[in-house]
Amino acid sequence: MKKISGNIVELTVNDLDKCRSFWDIPSKLAAPMTSGEKKAFAYRSGYTYIGGCALSIKENRGLFSYFAVSPDFRGNGIGSRIINFAAIYFMNMGLKEMRLHVHKNNTGAIRLYERNGFVYDSDITSEKIAMIKTL
């Protein structure tokens, strides 16, 4: 694990193009960002964006989505830092719970979520589960 210095910044719609190394189709976030439904954040190291997530609030719960780190930078703790940032963000908004959806076969991500305090909540479809973390 190498320490990759950087910090987490909020993205504008104009920044989305710089996030192609970790989001397949960053422009999918443009509409929910413009409507105010989601806020997008990225881990920035120098001028390079290397990981990100989107945050929204529904029924008094924080929703964590679009979570990804550039393949070249995985395994260095950046994912955990993004999760931690999201938990603090939602906590500061007074929320008590944070939630996400993950494919059942994404065992690496599920293990990472469990290490960061998430537990299984429910099945969403035959392929996806919801996990929650108490804040």
Ligand X SMILES: CC(C)(COP(=O)(O)OP(=O)(O)OC[C@H]1O[C@@H](n2cnc3c(N)ncnc32)[C@H](O)[C@@H]1OP(=O)(O)O)[C@@H](O)C(=O)NCCC(=O)NCCS
| Positions that interact with ligand X (CB under 6 A) | 67-69, 74-80, 102, 106, 108-109, 111-112
CB 62 within 8 A of CB 86: yes
Task: Report, in Å, the least distance between residue 110 CB and ligand X.
Answer: 8
Closer to ligand X by Cβ: residue 15 or 118: 118
The b-or-e profile of 43-55 (16+ CB within 10 A means b, else e) is bbeeeebbbbbbb
Q: Which residues contact 89 (CB under 8 A, 6 or more apart)?
A: 55, 62
| For ligand X, the closer CB: 15 or 79 | 79
Cβ 109 to ligand X shortest distance, Å:
4
What SS3 state is found at 120? strand
Give the nearest residue (CB) to ligand X: 79
Shortest distance (Å) from residue 69 CB to ligand X? 4
